Amino acid sequence: MVKLILVLGDQLSPDIAALRRADKAQDLVVMAEVAAEARYVPHHPKKIALILAAMRKHADRLRAAGWQVAYSRLDDPENAGSIPGELLRRASETGATRVLATRPGEWRLIEALEQVPLELEILEDDRFLASHADFDRWAEGRKQLRMEYFYREMRRRTGLLMEGDAPAGGKWNFDQDNRKPAADDLFLPDPLRFAPDKAVEEVLNLVEARFGENFGALHPFEMATDAEQAEAVLTYFIDTALPCFGDYQDAMLKGRPFLYHSLISAYLNIGLLDPLETCRRVEAAWKAGRAPLNAVEGFIRQIIGWREFVRGIYFREGPGYLDRNLLGHDRDLPALYWGGETGMACLSQAVAQTGEHAYAHHIQRLMVTGNFGLLAGIDPKQLHEWYLAVYADAFEWVEAPNTLGMSQFADGGLFASKPYISSGNYIDRMSDYCGSCRYSVKTKLGDGACPFNLLYWHFLSRHRDRFSANPRMGRIYATWDRMAEDRRDAILTQGDAVLDRLAAGEPV
Ligand code: FAD
Ligand code: DLZ
Ligand code: SF4
């Protein structure tokens, strides 16, 4: 009897688990472009275009490899509009009663699939190095979940950068050598661009018509949309940017959104690149003397460490994770996140680049938009929905722990020992943003004071009960306590005024 083999838009790996268990001669692969997936948050048009174009090309590949594929286009008049609806439609067309799926990356869709009145088997998504059981075994009984220790396990398990039982170069982590601020006369590689072919053009027209009003620019669309192109992006990164990746990982430069980053997260997350293979290629570049160890270790840590670790957290914590709000933050997301006016050059740069490219690098997400959201007390769920919508690489399994856990401390520090907050100083040190800002980063109080400077102390003061006993924050509170009382009062009053302006919808 025919089985339906569900392949979702972020499951475009040729040997995804459900396909490995299917029978080419008899089973039917179901792929569906559906309104429900395009609309559950207002995705950036580039993200929708990437997924639909890559889905169409993947379906062609599967057919060429001998699979029967029932592919529904978004504008197909019979389209049921949701993944469960499309499964039911294909079941009634074929008489199939069984569905084989690979576990989706969002609880929302797992729960929806479980409601479908068909016999459903969900297989583990084994494109990841650590299964849910592996992660739970590692996490069980630990007082604190720290990525660094999980990462060492992954190094041992994969053998990446290992010399016998010891880490290559004698250290697990070379971050001490990383994180230099960028100089603006650096040579920076331009990203690799792909002109849209006919299939991509067709998708762009559809996305323009249906989602042209969403935040973000659809054109120019120059992303990779198949595995060969994604592979070319990785090769280009290794050849041109990897050697400097570690040094400038945290740097930010006006008008240079990509610096030495790899730009592969969206391709990894939808299945156009394989994470372990990617790491092996990067390791090979080090072995061939083409990139230094600090860069290569830093890069591999992001993939076998952070990427696997946050996925473990998402599935371990369950669907309720999205509602965590331990700091009780409840302010609405200000319009500036959607491109509204702001005089803050750092936020304006990060949001504008996000609109243009559906991309911002880690430090822009963490220390600019994330840091501001946290200091200003924005509702973490609204921030979560924003991050999920605006980045091409955003799927809940990776986005939610990064936003709610790492960036917003909404889970109470499940895996971060203290909140990622900073005043304007950090942004000034790591970027060239402050020079062209309406505010002065050196001004802590009074006219033109950088809002990060005011809100930094505002945050610490309003959460004193929670954080003053944190051993990593004691010195900060000691500095606050040494300030004259009238200065402290003035900082809090001016911080309140910034928050009031945000709440009133006035530009900050
Ligand atoms: P590089 O800087 O070149 O890093 C290499 C790879 O490492 C990335 O492609 C990515 O696969 C992996 N990686 C790096 N950091 C992380 C991390 N913290 N968690 C998981 N993987 C990581 N990443 C996503 O893939 N999707 C998201 O939705 C997402 N949301 C985020 C939200 C917030 C608030 C923050 C602070 C970070 C988020 N990240 C997310 C992590 C990180 O910012 C992106 O993976 C990275 O910026 C992607 O750009 P890149 O491919 O050039 O990465
Ligand atoms: C994000 C997305 C979008 C925009 N559209 C589709 C789609 O039309 N069909 C599909 O199968 N998947 C799409 N996706 C990806 C899914 O939302 C993703 O598989 C789930 O969020 C689970 O990670
Ligand atoms: Fe951002 Fe403050 Fe610097 Fe302006 S002065 S760019 S607001 S950190």
Instruction: Give pLDDT tens digits for 267-283.
Output: 999 999 999 999 999 99
Mean pLDDT across the stretch 174-193? 84
Helix (H) or strand (E) holding 281: helix 275-287
Probe residue for ligand 1, chosen from 10, 268, 398 as the CB with the greatest number of ligand atoms within 8 Å: 398
CA distance 262 to 235: 10
Predicted local confidence at residue 124, as pLDDT: 97
**What mean pLDDT is predicted for residues 162-175?**
96
What average pLDDT score do residues 415-444 get?
97
pLDDT value for 183: 80
Find the range with the poorest average confidence among 140-144, 231-235, 428-432: 140-144
**Percent of the chain, pLDDT > 90?**
96
Instruction: Tell me the pLDDT band of 175, cut-offs 50, 70 and 90.
Output: confident
Which protein residues are within 6 Å of ligand 1, measured from CB?
261-265, 268-269, 299, 302-303, 306-307, 310, 361-362, 365-366, 370, 387, 391, 393-394, 398-399, 402-403, 406-407
For the CA of 427, the nearest atom of ligand 3: 8
Q: Is the pLDDT of residue 318 over 90?
A: yes
Find the range with the poorest average confidence among 123-132, 246-255, 445-454.
246-255
Q: Considering the chain, what is the average pLDDT of its residues?
A: 97
- Look at ligand 1, atom 40, and give the residue with the nearest C-alpha: 399
Mean pLDDT value across residues 449-472: 97
Give the number of whichever ligand sits closest to the CA of residue 449.
Answer: 3
- Nearest atom of ligand 3 to the alpha carbon of 344: 7
Q: Is the CB of 101 under 6 A from ligand 2?
A: no
Cα(330) to ligand 2 centroid in Å equals 29
Distance 258 CA to ligand 2 centre (A): 26
β-strands 162-163, 166-167 pairing: antiparallel
> How far, CA to CA in Å, does 24 sit from each of 5, 69, 103?
10, 10, 20
% residues pLDDT > 70 (the chain): 100
pLDDT at 229: 98
436 Cα nearest atom in ligand 3: 6
For atom 7 of ligand 3, the residue with the nearest CA is 344
pLDDT (average), residues 38-48: 98
Say if residue 402 is exposed, middle or buried (CB neighbours under 10 Å; 0-12, 13-18, 19+). Answer: buried
Query: Which ligand is the nearest neighbour of the Cα of 450?
Result: 3
Confidence of residue 32 (pLDDT cuts 50, 70, 90): very high
Report pLDDT for 178: 77
The reported pLDDT for the residue numbered 184 is 74
**Which two tokens mark 103?**
């576990």
Which atom of ligand 3 lies at the shortest distance from residue 440's CA? 5
pLDDT band at 317 (very low <50, low <70, confident <90, very high): very high
Q: pLDDT category, 186, cuts 50, 70, 90?
A: confident
Radius of gyration of the chain (CA): 24
The pLDDT of residue 185 is above 90: no
> Which tokens sit at 12?
């475009």
Say which ligand is closest to the CA of 261.
1
Q: Check residue 27 and give left, alpha or beta (phi > 0: left; psi -120 to 50: alpha).
A: beta
Alpha carbon nearest to ligand 1 atom 21, residue = 307
Measured between alpha carbons, how far is 130 from 225 in angstroms, rounded to an integer? 27
Q: How confident is the model at residue 180 (pLDDT cuts 50, 70, 90)?
A: confident
Whether pLDDT at 454 is above 90: yes
The pLDDT value recorded for residue 497 is 98
Q: Which domains does the chain have, with CATH numbers?
A: 4-123 (3.40.50.620), 132-189+241-317 (1.25.40.80), 335-503 (1.10.579.10)
Q: How far is the CA of 84 from the centre of ligand 2 (A)?
A: 12
Q: Do residues 233 and 192 lie in contact, with contact meaning Cβ atoms separated by under 8 Å? A: yes
Tell me the torsion sign for CA atoms 427, 431, 433, 439.
positive
CA of 315 to the centre of ligand 3 (A): 36
| Cβ of 51 less than 6 Å from ligand 2 | yes
Residue of 248, 259, 265 with the most ligand 1 atoms within 8 Å of its CB, for mutation: 265
Q: What are the residues facing 31 on neighbouring strands?
A: 71
Ligand 1 atom 29, closest CA: 399
Closest CA to 366 of 496, 449, 249: 249
Nearest Cα neighbor of 296 from 430, 162, 149 is 162
Pocket residue to mutate for ligand 3, from 439, 443, 447, most atoms within 8 A of Cβ:
439
Q: 51 pLDDT exceeds 90? A: yes
Q: How far is CA 281 from CA 149, 275, 289, 394, in A?
A: 24, 10, 13, 24
In whole angstroms, give the CA distance from residue 172 to residue 472: 23
The set of protein residues with a Cβ atom below 6 angstroms from ligand 3 is 344-346, 424, 427-428, 433-434, 437, 439, 441, 450-452
In this prediction, residue 363 has a pLDDT band, given cuts at 50, 70 and 90, of: very high
The bound ligand whose nearest atom lies closest to the alpha carbon of 54 is 2
- Smallest CA separation from ligand 2 atom 8, residue: 33
